[in-house]
Structure 1
Amino acid sequence: MLALVVALTGSASNIVDDWWWLGALALVALAAAVAERMQPPSRLRAAAEMALASIVVGLGFPDAYLALPYLLLPAFAGGLAGGAVGAIITTIIAALGLAAGDILARNALLDLGSMGSLAAWLVIVFVTGAIGAWLIRQENAQAADSERYAAAYRLLSELRVVSRRLSGGLDPVTLAEGILDRVGAGLDVRRSALLVRREGGVLFPLAERGGDDGWVAGAERDPVVLDAWTNEVPAWAPAGRRGHRVVLPLRVGSRTIGAVVADVPDQALPDDLNELARSTDEGAVRLETALLFDEVRELATREERQRLAREIHDGIAQELASLGYLVDDLLARTTNADTASLATTLRRELTRIVTELRHSVFDLRSDLDREAGLGDTLAGYARQIGTQAKLKVHLSNQEAQERLRPEVEAELLRIGQEAITNVRKHAKARNLWVTVNVNPPSAHIRVADDGIGLRQRPSNHYGLDIMAERAKRIGATLMIEDAPEGGTAVGVSLGPDYEEG
């Protein structure tokens, strides 16, 4: 920058009378270079350089007007070192230094014309500092992202090691059942449940012992549960003929991440309950880790489904559609009957494949509606498929206000979607029946059709195997049988005592 000032001054030597300010500015630049080698960049160093340089320019004004571009350098350095604050400080110092230098040299302020020119340069000085502040902010943001990704990778690596060492891995249900077993070993428990909070503040049972008839529904409104959750200490109260209800908070540090609710015949001693609550703290840490791991896995799965949908839509689907246009052109040009017949068959097959790819994209993008719930989401999917495949859809949806665990809802949704997709692909049906009954922790989904039935379907059972794997993952039972309607019925039931309504 000093070389630029020298070049500008040399080109205007015929109108410049005094040159002393150029030497003074060179000394300022030399001092700044020495300071840069001795200490890291800072707002103080940029402010000092700006103060000295602006005073020199003010003292040498108007001959030193050509030295104004030098002020951009400390302004940029101020923005890099101090961000927006640094840019503002160096601009203010530049204005004060120019005014002070001019007053010292001439005992008067600049005339209006000169002040207008300097004001324009001060704006340029501020913009230069702002550019430096923006650049350092972008660099810091990238560095912070890199650090966060590195930290997340380390955490996931540690979780993988921990998961392999734990006997039950990082499965939330297995860990919850382990906590209930520990509580059952310390108390004479008639029935118990481990509750965790989900979106909307609703508590839902992650695991139960001794009953699954919805006895913990509305637990977030139970005063005993609220007392234990809020105060982070065990709570109990009489429960009529059932004896007493005991609630043990699951604590991680200063937070409550869940609660064990148990009905016991006799009142337990406070010291015993406190000791039992302390014994579950380690299990609470593992459970929270497993729930977090499950959430990360769910988000990753959802993002991967969206990515695959984009890849299919923007890639192979577009390529096949373009190939179809070429076949159409061939059909329009050919005069050979055999060629036209083959091209027609090829065009029909391409249309079928593109249609299947579009259905696949739709399936991948169909996700669980967190507001509507499992039944409404599956019903919307069935209507959409029914419209595409010209099926008459019959829906029955009985869903309680309480919700299943998110991962269970997701698996049940995929099983129902796969069953509906199989009807569209293979059944050659006219009617589709979809029944959804959800009463946590139990659920039942039935998809039936009046098509050709199981015996005449293709031998490829890959889709059925996937449904069986999904059902096994959540502890559900999958049933595939001939339907009374004349086609096939696929049912998935969750909960050992479930009875189809």
Structure 2
Amino acid sequence: MTHSYQLVTPNNIWPDRAQHATFGADKAHLSAVSVLTSDPAVAQRHWRALAVARPGVLALVVALTGSASSLTEAWWWLSALALVALAAAIAERALPPSRLRAAGEMALASIVIGLGFPEAYLALPYLLLPAFAGGLTGGAGGAILATIIAALGMAAGDILARNALLDLSSASSLAAWLAIVFVTGAIGAWLLRQENVHVADGERYAAAYRLLSELRVVSRRLSGGLDPMTLAEGILDNVAARMDVRRAALLVRREGGVLFPLARRGDDDGWLVGAEHDPVVLDAWTNEVPAWAPAGRRGHRVVLPLRVGSRTIGAVVADVPEQASPDELTELARSTDEGAVRLETALLFDEVRELATREERQRLAREIHDGIAQELASMGYLVDDLLARTTSADTASLATTLRRELTRIVTELRHSVFDLRSDLDRETGLGETLSGYARQVGAQARLKVHLVNQEGQERLRPEVEAELLRIGQEAITNVRKHAKARNLWVTVSVNPPSAHIRVADDGTGMRDRPSDRYGLDIMAERARRIGATLVIEDAPEGGTVVGVSLGPDNEEG
């Protein structure tokens, strides 16, 4: 499940340049990445090819002219074109690639060809070189500029030689060559665009690697770690140490504008439902200043914005018995700013980690589906062929058993792929997601599914929802694989910060299950990770009951 937070990563949370010296091998590897992404080798290959092609094209022009006419009559414009090529080669050595350099070569070459026209008609292929260079340096604009300069240069050369414009037939022939010149320049522009995209993509990866490397180093040095809930509770502790707080919560915004509590103190009676519409919360969040309002017999409600730079990334909502002075609230809000930076960093790191986990699950699902599942299915076809060909009863019996086992394994692999691809949706909650999973598994295993979903608008923390979902999925999968049941009962109750999931069946119970407890151990590990209680027991009326409870309301409903 991916949650998008409104996050801004401030520059001052990263180590300065002096601290970079401690990165050791990470920094060396990072430098190598940076060199690779900024290396102009790709562009240099195009320019080297152009330099090699120039004398080749000039030799081709000389050969074509010699075969079509006398070289003694064309020596002067051939020599002039050779001088242009020599000057272009020297400029490539002395000057960096530029649109002006390509335009200069195009102007001189086109004037020479115009002066020698129509005998210099066979020299028109030379214009493709500066056209290509124009596209490489100036993109589409460079290609257009090269074409215009070619047309004007040939027209100017022809006027200087004969004091007249080209006739209609010659102009139509040159127009076709000008189209070819433009296409060549466009090819150079396309290559330039590809290089820019490649370099930009490489620079983005280098920047991502740099930030992740620094984050890894910094996270090992942070006293509070990068657990959002721990940091949020630390902020609430800081507020409680300065004010007489009866109850408090730290709210952050999830996608869709809904605020949800990352940490709480005090009783929980649904007082935060609809907090995103509370005028006091909206006032503090929008104006980035503390706000308060009377709360009837409860005293006063105080809202402290969590500010990072010019952004509000969260808010502390607290009910206090007595009103605090504006100066006290301002000082208290200022004291939470440092904690806000830490919390925002933790939320960002948590989102990156969550995205990486989700992508890895999708990758594993693809590999299983496209790899071993397909190969086993192919083996099944071979067994089918063996069954069709064999005349031995013993061989047919063994082949039938083998085919049955292959079908079972492929089915289990497909279920595994389904499990890996099942994830919490941004819009639906834990109860709806687990109910959908139960319905899908029930349809596949021909189970009658009974669902109870008691879930309101408030959501648990994303990582808690993810762990509870995996526990519920594993319990449902065990019913499908081992229970030999007819009915499946799934009950989900969510009342943040409490939650309860109950998965029951009317199957054979735990006594007849296989001795492999790997799945049960994983469920217990997930429960411990979020501080939940996991109970797995035989039901008195038969079957198995798996219950996982989180928070103070651990009793089953």
Give the TM-score normalised by the residue count of structure 2.
0.86
Q: Match for 1:343 among 391, 399, 402?
A: 399
Amino acid at match of 2:456: A
1:263 counterpart residue number: 319
What does the per-residue CA deviation read over 1:21-53, in whole Å, with 9 as the maximum and x for residues that have no partner? 222211221121111111210111111211222
User: After superposition, what is the alpha-carbon deviation per residue over 1:370-407, rounded to whole angstroms, capped at 9, x for unaligned?
Assistant: 22332222222111111111111111222212333322
Listed one character per residue, the Cα deviations across residues 184-213 of structure 1 (whole Å, up to 9, x for unaligned) are: 111111111111111101111011111233
Matched, 1:462 2:518: yes
CA contact (8 A) 1:478 1:491 kept: yes
Paired with 1:277 and 1:153, the residues of 2 have a C-alpha distance of 34
Deviation at 1:301, TM superposition (A): 1.0
Q: Does 1:36 align with 2:87?
A: no
For structure 2, the residue ranges without an aligned partner over 5 or more in a row are 1-56
Q: How many residue pairs end up in the alignment?
A: 501
Identical residues among aligned pairs (%):
88
Contact 1:427 1:453 in 2 (8 A): yes
Confirm whether residue 237 of structure 1 aligns to residue 293 of structure 2.
Answer: yes
The DSSP-based 3-state class of the residue aligned with 2:510 is coil
Partner secondary structure for residue 455 of structure 1: helix
Report the 3-state secondary structure (helix = DSSP H, G, I; strand = E; otherwise coil) of the residue aligned with 2:395.
helix
| Contact 1:5 1:66 (8 Å CA) reproduced | yes
Equivalent residue number for residue 455 of structure 2:
399
- Paired residue for 1:139? 195
Matching of residue 487 in structure 1 with residue 539 in structure 2: no
**Inter-CA distance 117–398: structure 2 relative to 1 (3 Å threshold):** farther
Q: Deviations over 1:293-329 (max 9, x none)?
A: 1111111111111111111111111111111222222
Q: What residue identity is the alignment partner of 1:100? A: A
| 1:220 maps onto 2:276 in alignment | yes
Match of 2:106 among 33, 50, 74: 50
Greater alpha carbon shift after TM alignment, 454-463 vs 10-19:
10-19
Aligned amino acid, residue 519 of structure 2: G
Residue among 485, 491, 498 paired with 1:435: 491
Deviations 1:350-377 (A, max 9, x none): 1111111111111111122222332222
How far apart in 2 are the matches of 1:99 and 1:498? 91
Question: Structure 1 residue aligned with 2:260, among 188, 204, 208?
Answer: 204
Shifted more, 199-208 versus 224-233: the winner is 224-233
Residue 334 of structure 1 aligns with which residue? 390
Alignment correspondent of 2:415 = 359
SS in 1 for 2:512: coil
Rounded Cα–Cα distance in structure 2 between residues aligned with 1:497 and 1:387: 32
Q: Is the partner of 1:87 in helix, strand or coil?
A: helix
Aligned to 1:415: 471
In the alignment, what sits opposite 1:98? 154
Q: Distance in 2 between matches of 1:214 and 1:476?
A: 21
Quote how far apart the aligned CAs of 1:425 are: 0.5
Once the two structures are superposed, residues 110-140 of structure 1 have per-residue CA deviations (whole angstroms, 9 ceiling, x without a partner) of 2232222222222221221221122122222
Q: Provide the residue aligned with 2:42 in structure 1.
A: none
Distance (Å, rounded) in 2 between the aligned partners of 1:42 and 1:158: 37
What's the counterpart of residue 245 of structure 2? Answer: 189
Compared CA separation, residues 122 and 499, structure 1 to 2 (3 A): farther
Q: Indicate if the aligned counterparts of 1:449 and 1:485 stay in contact, CA closer than 8 A.
A: no
**What are the residue-to-residue correspondences of 1:102-141 with 2, within 5 Å?**
102-141=158-197
Shift of 1:484: 5.2
RCO higher in structure (CA 8 A, sep ≥6): 2
Q: Is the 8 A contact 1:16 1:63 kept in 2?
A: no
* Higher mean C-alpha displacement, 473-482 vs 378-387: 473-482
Whole-angstrom CA distance in 2 between matches of 1:465 and 1:360: 18
Q: Show the counterpart of 1:281.
A: 337
Shift of 1:106: 2.9
Alpha carbons of structure 1 residues 489 and 70: separation in structure 2 relative to 1, 3 Å: same
Contact 2:458 2:496 in 1 (8 A): yes
Q: State TM-score, norm by structure 1.
A: 0.95
Greater mean deviation of Cα atoms: 485-494 or 245-254: 485-494
Residue 402 to residue 92, structure 1, CA distance change in 2 (3 Å):
farther
Residues in 2 aligned to 1:181 and 1:62: alpha-carbon distance in whole angstroms? 90
What do you get for the CA RMSD once the two structures are aligned? 1.9
CA distance in 2 between partners of 1:33 and 1:114 (Å): 30
Q: Return the letter of the residue paired with 2:210.
A: R
Amino acid at match of 1:173: M
Indicate conservation of the 8 Å contact 2:65/2:71, yes or no. no
